[in-house]
């Protein structure tokens, strides 16, 4: 793939992208209160006095949220800071009852790490993570409930977020998309965020600047709260184009916060960028610094499952699965789990490659057609294993297996039952097949002669005849084995 460039009248520009991802932490209660965090509850039904910022209420840190941030840091190979501090980030907004957000500024709980992007065709790229800090979410302003009034729902107020800040290491919309895809996969594997962008539990602030290749970094604009990977890609494209046009006209880029409007396909200015000092950050006097020991970190590490990169490597190196199949399988944990269960039921690691092909082409094919996810699959890993076993031991041909599988998918019946009911067992009986082959050879002396004169491709013709004779039920492997010596004479 050639490098991504935006063409200007006077030359090409390179795009530089850094992402700030807000990931809602999976925890039963909020970062500093015992209120529930479940999505979709009745507005303002999950709000404690702390979340509503009633005078005199004091925050208490939720240890589970800290543990989840540490687990996330470990999964990104990041530095874990055993000492971190909560600060107040002050700003005024109707859905922020405290008048400040409790966040981490100078001393975040997680430091530098990396994410390995999968860019297709086995190409990868490492992108740096600058830090992960914990902070509270704000409430939600609802403008669509009343013609004159804005309503505020505080259910989200105080819910724990991880802000995962990347380095400005990405150079194209595709790389930004791959970063979000990979990050989401990892968060879902380890269960620290559900990664659900439509429900807003993962959102991205997209920082974009442009420069001529080789020049120092340009001034960035930050596009706030983009809520799908497709929109992130589009926002980068249009924002980079906008900046190049300004520079080409001899203008300068103002550092500002912008909004992406997917309907119009443009970004619009929200406000000029506030500097950190505008937030008047200072350590929250109601909270002690967070401190934990090595044992806490070790326990968090112990609790991590096998990560997608390790899993992919194992699938390829130990199981002989192709690179492509392995990356498709590990992209979603449910897919990898299904495959591994299928393999366990088969009880034969040598079949891993075949099993991966079956999952990716046959199973995914029908799931896609039916608009189902793998967890809704009407065919269980156990049933899939039975089907593959029937192909492997020669009971049915690969061709027949496809029909059997379609019926399994439709009816939920087991493969062996369908094969019995429809009499689909292939003929592997050598005696029976030999008789048929002898008849066919006797009936086609011309082709036999041509074959013997060197036109060996004609073996296909003979196999075809046997298939025709047996209504497709002959075992092609056995037919080939029997035919060859007879044709060779
Ligand atoms: N020149 C640049 N071009 C593109 N991205 C940049 C550039 N410089 C920095 N960035 C990215 O901008 C982001 C800055 O995020 P950070 O949280 O550190 O600060 P912020 O945006 O000022 O703070 P806030 O959390 O209040 O929005 C990072 O992802 C970083 O990689
Ligand atoms: Mg930030
Ligand atoms: Mg920012």
Is ipTM strictly over 0.95?
A: yes
Give the total residue count for the chain: 489
DSSP SS3 for 219: coil
Give the closest residue to 105 by CA, choosing from 278, 230, 246, 224: 278
Average pLDDT over residues 310-333: 96
pLDDT at 474: 84
| Extended strands (E) in 39-137 | 83-84, 87-90, 100-103, 113-118, 124-136
pLDDT of residue 277: 73
Q: How far is the CA of 22 from the centre of ligand 2 (A)?
A: 9
Rounded CA-CA distance 267/255 in Å is 14
Mean pLDDT of 382-398: 93
User: Mean pLDDT of all residues in the chain?
Assistant: 94
Q: What are the pLDDT digits (tens) for 172-210?
A: 999 999 999 999 999 999 999 999 999 999 999 999 999
Other CB atoms within a 10 A radius of the CB of residue 401 amount to: 21
83-84 and 87-90 as β-strands: parallel, antiparallel, unpaired?
unpaired
User: Rounded to the nearest 5°, which phi and psi values hold at 353?
Assistant: -65, -50
pLDDT at 430: 81
Counting from 1 in the atom list of ligand 1, the atom nearest the Cα of 169 is 31
| β strands within 120-249, DSSP E | 124-136, 140-142, 151-153, 160-166, 202-211, 221-226
Mean pLDDT for 161-170 is 98
* Mean pLDDT, residues 123-133: 97
Residue in 197, 223, 194, 221 with CA at minimum distance from that of residue 210:
221
Q: Scanning the structure block, which residue is given the tokens 């019995």?
A: 420
Compute the C-alpha angle 403/407/411, nearest 5°: 175
Sign of torsion over alpha carbons 410, 411, 417, 422? negative
How do residues 430-477 score in pLDDT, each as one tens digit? Answer: 888 899 999 999 999 999 999 999 998 999 999 999 988 887 788 888
Which ligand ends up closest to the CA of 130?
Answer: 1
Ligand 1 center–CA 472 separation, angstroms: 64
Is residue 209 in contact with ligand 1, taking CB distance under 6 Å? yes
Gap between the Cα atoms of 223 and 239, Å rounded = 9
How buried is 160 (Cβ within 10 angstroms: 0-12 exposed, 13-18 middle, 19+ buried)? buried
Residue 211 Cβ inside 6 Å of ligand 1? The answer reads no
Q: Which of 165, 167, 183, 239 to mutate to test the pocket of ligand 1 (most atoms within 8 A of CB)?
A: 165
Contact 282, 88 (CB under 8 A): yes
Q: Supply the pLDDT for residue 305.
A: 97
Per-residue pLDDT for 360 more than 90?
A: yes
Distance of alpha carbon 440 from alpha carbon 433, whole angstroms:
11
Give residue for tokens 């897919």. 335
Task: Using only the alpha carbons of the chain, give its radius of gyration.
Answer: 30
* Residue 252 phi, psi (nearest 5): -125, 155
Which domains does the chain show, CATH number per domain? 6-300 (no CATH), 306-422 (no CATH), 430-488 (1.10.10.410)
Measured from the CB, is residue 19 less than 6 Å from ligand 1?
A: yes
Q: Is the CB of 104 under 6 A from ligand 1?
A: no
């Amino acid at each position: 793939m050639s490098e991504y460039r935006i063409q200007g009248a006077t030359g090409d520009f390179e795009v530089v992208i850094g992402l700030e991802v807000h990931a809602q932490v999976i925890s039963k209660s909020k970062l500093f209160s015992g209120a529930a965090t479940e999505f979709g509850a009745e507005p303002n039904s999950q709000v404690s006095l702390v979340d509503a910022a009633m005078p005199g209420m004091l925050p208490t840190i939720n240890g589970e949220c800290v543990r989840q941030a540490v687990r996330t840091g470990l999964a990104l190979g990041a530095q874990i800071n055993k000492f971190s501090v909560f600060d107040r980030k002050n700003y005024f907004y109707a859905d922020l009852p405290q008048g400040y957000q409790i966040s981490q500024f100078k001393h975040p709980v997680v430091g530098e790490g990396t994410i390995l992007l999968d860019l297709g065709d086995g190409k990868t790229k490492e992108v740096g993570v600058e830090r992960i800090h914990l902070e509270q979410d704000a409430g939600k302003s609802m403008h669509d409930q009343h013609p004159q009034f804005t309503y505020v729902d505080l259910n989200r107020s105080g819910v724990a977020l991880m802000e995962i800040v990347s380095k400005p290491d990405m150079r194209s919309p595709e790389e930004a998309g791959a970063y979000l895809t990979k990050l989401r996969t990892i968060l879902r594997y380890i269960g620290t965020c559900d990664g659900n962008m439509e429900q807003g539990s993962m959102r991205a602030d997209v920082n974009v600047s442009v420069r001529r290749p080789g020049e120092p970094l340009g001034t960035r604009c930050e596009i706030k709260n983009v809520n799908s990977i497709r929109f992130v890609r589009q926002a980068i494209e249009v924002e980079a184009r906008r900046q190049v046009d300004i520079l080409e006209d001899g203008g300068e880029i103002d550092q500002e916060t912008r909004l992406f409007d997917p309907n119009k396909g443009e970004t619009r200015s929200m406000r000029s960028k506030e500097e950190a000092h505008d937030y008047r950050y200072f350590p929250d006097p109601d909270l002690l610094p967070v401190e934990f020991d090595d044992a806490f970190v070790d326990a968090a590490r112990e609790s991590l499952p096998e990560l997608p990169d390790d899993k992919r490597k194992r699938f390829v190196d130990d199981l002989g699965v192709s690179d492509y199949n392995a990356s498709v399988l590990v992209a979603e944990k449910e897919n990898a789990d299904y495959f591994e269960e299928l393999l366990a039921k088969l009880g034969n690691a040598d079949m891993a490659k075949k099993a991966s092909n079956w999952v990716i082409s046959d199973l995914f094919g029908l799931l896609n057609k039916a608009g189902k996810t793998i967890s809704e699959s009407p065919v269980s890993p156990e049933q899939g294993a039975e089907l593959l076993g029937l192909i492997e031991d020669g009971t049915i041909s690969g061709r027949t297996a496809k029909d059997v599988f379609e019926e399994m998918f439709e009816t939920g019946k087991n493969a062996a039952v369908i094969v019995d009911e429809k009499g689909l067992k292939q003929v592997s009986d050598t005696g029976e097949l030999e008789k048929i082959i002898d008849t066919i050879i006797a009936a086609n002396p011309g082709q036999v002669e041509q074959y013997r004169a060197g036109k060996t491709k004609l073996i296909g013709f003979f196999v075809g005849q046997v298939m025709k004779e047996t209504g497709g039920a002959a075992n092609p492997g056995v037919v080939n084995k029997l035919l060859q010596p007879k044709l060779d004479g």
